[in-house]
Structure 1
């Protein structure tokens, strides 16, 4: 008997699955629609019925990675109301996901893919889900905020602050936006350093300790 035809939704999920596998094996620069077609069992020209271009595949993979990361983190922080505890839990959930999905982490937070420009109208929404939690933590008092004259010099510009508040839809002051940005930068740096091996092989305990150290200096 002939194999039943797959639905469009099934084919879209298969395209993503093949894309994730290629991403893990070859990196973003190695994505190949010809290989996608081969794994789907369609002729090379037939793959364009399901994904228009390599850039479209990259965009779908970005949306998928951002959403997968946010889903995992939000599951772990659900119900945690104390801001510092919530932020620590968020940080460790991000690290856990990144270590389990290094290729997807690299797509999100690694070097830009040459020749590809992510469409903001599709990737900003999924990408800002976690950032919103970071700014909300600052608004709830999780981080030390700039207050001394020395800190004043390091505050972010009014346009940056206004854009952050508007895009993230969190009521936060300029010092809180600065505090959240500092902490978020430290968090991404610590996780990326471990995922990309910048400190050589790290034991799980050392990786967790590195993350704690990077975050702790920003918590109030």
Structure 2
């Protein structure tokens, strides 16, 4: 191999190694949050687990806030992807139920990230517009399903509203919050709380009767 070709490939290898290190940092950060609470995340603990000195992390993230921001963005993207996958090929209430069910399952499998996404465990952290845009997209997906449910006669016209979105978010956040607080480690679909989600969805539908 020529020296010139080797020099052209070297930056690619460095870039790959950088991406791998970033992924490792984020995985360790999520592990720390899971063990010590979302607000218990520290760059020094991540560096210790990575086997480097804390200043070395600043080559990848300029601050602890930047780590939170990346975790928030990726969490929103992955939560939305889980919802979309479950809703694929479905419409109306069926799509909505399946999407929220998948979102709840994802939340209990990624408890620390879910807290960062849907609660305010770090008062000093404010998500960037990029991260909030993904959250807005999630709401738009739910609103589309509500609109389909109204159009098909499953729900009354009032369900195509911000109020209905707020009611849905209250229902799913309540189930997730109760499960996290009272049954840590119990997966979605087991225990006392997540199994009642279908009944809550029935109550939601009853709040917006068709006709």
Aligned residues: 184
Displacement of 1:144 in angstroms is 2.5
Task: Name stretches of at least 5 consecutive residues in structure 2 with no aligned partner.
Answer: 1-12, 184-190
In the superposition, relative to structure 1, how do residues 205 and 38 fare at CA in structure 2: closer, same or farther (>3 Å)? closer
4+ runs of 1 displaced by more than 4 Å?
198-202
Q: Is the 8 A contact 1:190 1:210 kept in 2?
A: no
1:36 corresponding residue in structure 2: 46
Q: Which residue, 156, 176, 185 being the options, matches 1:144?
A: 156
2:7 corresponding residue in structure 1: none
1:83 corresponding residue in structure 2: 92
1:133 corresponding residue in structure 2: 141
Output the TM-score relative to the length of structure 1: 0.73
SS in 2 for 1:25: helix
Q: Which has the larger radius of gyration?
A: 2
Q: Is the 8 A contact 2:47 2:54 kept in 1?
A: yes
SS in 2 for 1:7: helix
Q: Which has the higher helix share?
A: 2
2:9 corresponding residue in structure 1: none
SS in 2 for 1:113: coil
1:110 corresponding residue in structure 2: 119
1:194 corresponding residue in structure 2: 175
Q: Which residue, 179, 182, 187 being the options, matches 2:163?
A: 182
In the superposition, relative to structure 1, how do residues 200 and 207 fare at CA in structure 2: closer, same or farther (>3 Å)? farther
Q: RMSD of the alignment, in Å?
A: 2.5
In the superposition, relative to structure 1, how do residues 16 and 85 fare at CA in structure 2: closer, same or farther (>3 Å)? same
Is 2:40 the partner of 1:27?
no
Output the TM-score relative to the length of structure 2: 0.76
